Structure 1
Amino acid sequence: MAERLGRSQGKSPGISEVTLAHIYRAEVQRSTNWRTRLDTTTNWAITTTAAVVSFTFSSATSPHPTLLAGAMLVFTFLVVEARRYRYYDIWARRVRLMESGYLVPLMRREPITVDFYSAMASEFTRPRLRISALDSLVFRMRRTYAPILALLLASWVVKIDIHPVPATSWGELIARAKIGPMPGVVLWAGWVVSVGVFFWLLWLGTRAPLPATELRPPSRRGMVSLSEPFRRVGPAGQVQLRSQPPRIRPARNEDRLA
């Protein structure tokens, strides 16, 4: 008993490799679960868009406000998914931290630095959201929801133009957009504002940095031939190795521990 008390009063031995392995497995599972929730919201948006477009263009008498309701519903899914992505980024950052700070040095036969354990302690002591709501919204829209919303906005214009018969003037297009007591001018003004917000979000997406947990596309200086993968396969399916070892790209600043 006295020996245990003496050990507890001394310096902590730190985290063991077994404990770190269990933590890594738990964080990978948690990030996978949140990634599945992101895919679920995307499936809702795709299913809603397919159902709305199919119903609206199935008959000339189908009401056009269904497309507007579908666009509003898809945008709601986008807001929900952007919120989920902010929490997914927390767990994905932890996985990336353990991979770059612990596993990579072991593979390179380098010592584990104290910065890794300090960063892990700070991450578990006070977890916080690293991505703002607007950045998350812009990123998810650029990656997934841009073509879905563009399809709904364009389908509404096409529906008004061709049903029940093709329109012959701008006045007829404005008159067809009427919904109950709401004049068509108001609907067209709302459509123009929605398109403006759509392109504004896309413009923000081109300027916003890519989150640290996302994979960056490889940069190639020239075109790669389609037969390149088959040139490395020798007779009897044996893979031909290069005469020189591949060059290891130095780690970028964002890949290193802060």
Structure 2
Amino acid sequence: MAEESEFDPEADEQKEIGREMVDESTGLGSVAAHLYRGEMERTVGWRDRLDTTTNWAVTVMSAIVAYAFSGEVSHAVILAGIMMGTVFLFIEARRFRDYDMWRSRVRVLQENLFANALDPSQGVEHDAWRAELSRDYREPSPKISYRGAFSHRLRRVYLPLLGVMGLAWIFHLWAFNPDDPFLESAALPGINGVLVVGIVGGYYAVLVVLAVPLSSKERGESGGADHGDIE
């Protein structure tokens, strides 16, 4: 006689959560809808903050480059623009951590609740998602490190921007001082050109290193409902 399949109450309960959501007698569907709408509003709000920071960075850095090439302006102006871009990067990395916290909750609900409601036969992505989401509501915390957020925004937005600024700086030195050696053209009042070039080169080398992601979480925005999102 064939062995009877083991009964797993927790697994069965997880499969039924999708049916419960659309069952008017439980009221779960109404609660979930309000919860999801609230989380989406917060996510969109923080997404707008990210976009605002990026727009300001592009505007300020573009204006600085335009001013630097408008006449006999010192190349130090472009270096100041690079510093400004770095400041915006730090601000955006902090905002991305907050955005990612709300985005992660939305993905947990989408993957485990709404997807299961549409097709309960497929089950859920992560069996302990409700316990983990409950713990996250009780004790909210960022789901990505500051270094990870910094790397993500650097790779996605600021490395190309700062790279253009670096090329603009090199071109400015060549265009406005065509007869002078490059290292002499890079000099600033009281600072040797070799030192300036070394500092700038070291700065970009550090950016390249920091842009390398250390985990799958840092490689993209579309993280799923895994242990890296809610923990």
Q: Shorter-chain TM-score: what band?
A: 0.7 to 0.9
Q: Secondary structure, in 3 states, of the residue corresponding to 2:216?
A: coil
C-alpha distance after superposition, 1:9-66 (max 9, x if no partner)? xxxxx9832222111100000000000000011001110121011111122x111101
Q: Is 1:141 the equivalent of 2:150? A: no
* Counterpart residue number, 1:193: 202
Equivalences, count: 205
Give 2:68's aligned amino acid.
T
Bigger helix share? 2
Q: Deviations over 1:83-107 (max 9, x none)?
A: 1101111100111111111101111
Q: Within 1, Cα distance between the matches of 2:162 and 2:60?
A: 11
Residues 87-98 of structure 1 correspond to what in structure 2 (within 5 A)? 87-98=98-109
Partner residue, 1:30: 42
Q: How far is 1:119 from its partner?
A: 2.4
1: CA distance between counterparts of 2:138 and 2:229? 21
CA shift in 2, pair 1:162/1:92, >3 Å: same
Q: Relative to structure 1, is the Cα distance of residues 114 and 153 closer, same or farther in structure 2, using a 3 angstrom cutoff?
A: closer
User: CA 1:114–1:181 in 2, change beyond 3 Å: closer, same or farther?
Assistant: closer
User: 3-state SS of the aligned residue for 2:74?
Assistant: coil
Amino acid at match of 2:136: E
Q: 2:84 aligns with which of 63, 73, 78?
A: 73
Q: What's the CA shift for 1:162? A: 1.6
8 Å contact kept, 1:177–1:188 = yes
Gapped regions of structure 1 (runs ≥ 5): 1-13, 217-250
**Per-residue deviation, 1:114:** 7.0
- Percent identity over the alignment is 28
Instruction: Flag the 1:80–1:256 CA change in 2: closer, same or farther, 3 A.
Output: closer
State yes or no: 1:117 paired with 2:125: no
Aligned-pair distance for 1:252?
9.6
Equivalent-residue separation in structure 1 for 2:188 and 2:82 (angstroms): 16
2:65–2:168 CA contact under 8 A, matched in 1: yes
Q: Which residue of 1 aligns with 2:21?
A: none
Q: TM-score, normalised to structure 2's length?
A: 0.79
C-alpha distance in 2 between matches for 1:114 and 1:32: 27
Secondary structure of 1:119 counterpart: helix
Larger displacement relative to structure 2 (122-131 or 109-118)? 109-118
Q: Which residue does the alignment assign to 2:186?
A: 177
Q: Distance in 1 between matches of 2:120 and 2:92?
A: 40
2:179, 2:155 → 1: CA distance? 33
CA–CA distance in 1 between the matches of 2:93 and 2:75? 28
Q: How is 1:1-258 mapped onto 2 (pairs within 5 angstroms)?
A: 16-59=28-71, 61-110=72-121, 115-163=128-176, 165-167=177-179, 172-202=181-211, 204-205=212-213, 207-211=214-218, 214-215=221-222
Say which SS state the counterpart of residue 140 (structure 2) adopts.
Answer: coil
Q: CA deviation at 1:253?
A: 6.7
Higher RCO (CA-CA < 8 Å; seq separation 6+): 2
CA contact (8 A) 2:79 2:169 kept: yes
Instruction: Give unpaired runs (5+ residues) of structure 2.
Output: 1-25
CA displacement 1:152-179 (0-9 Å, x = unmatched) = 111111111120x4135xxx32222222
- Are 2:50 and 2:92, in contact at CA under 8 Å, matched by a contact in 1? yes
Matched position secondary structure for 1:90: helix
Q: Which amino acid aligns with 2:149?
A: S
Root-mean-square deviation (Å)? 2.9
Give the TM-score, by structure 1 length: 0.71
Query: Within 1, Cα distance between the matches of 2:39 and 2:140?
Result: 13
| Offset, 1:201 | 2.2
AA partner of residue 180 (structure 1): P
Closer/same/farther in 2, CA of residues 156 and 25 from structure 1, 3 Å limit: same
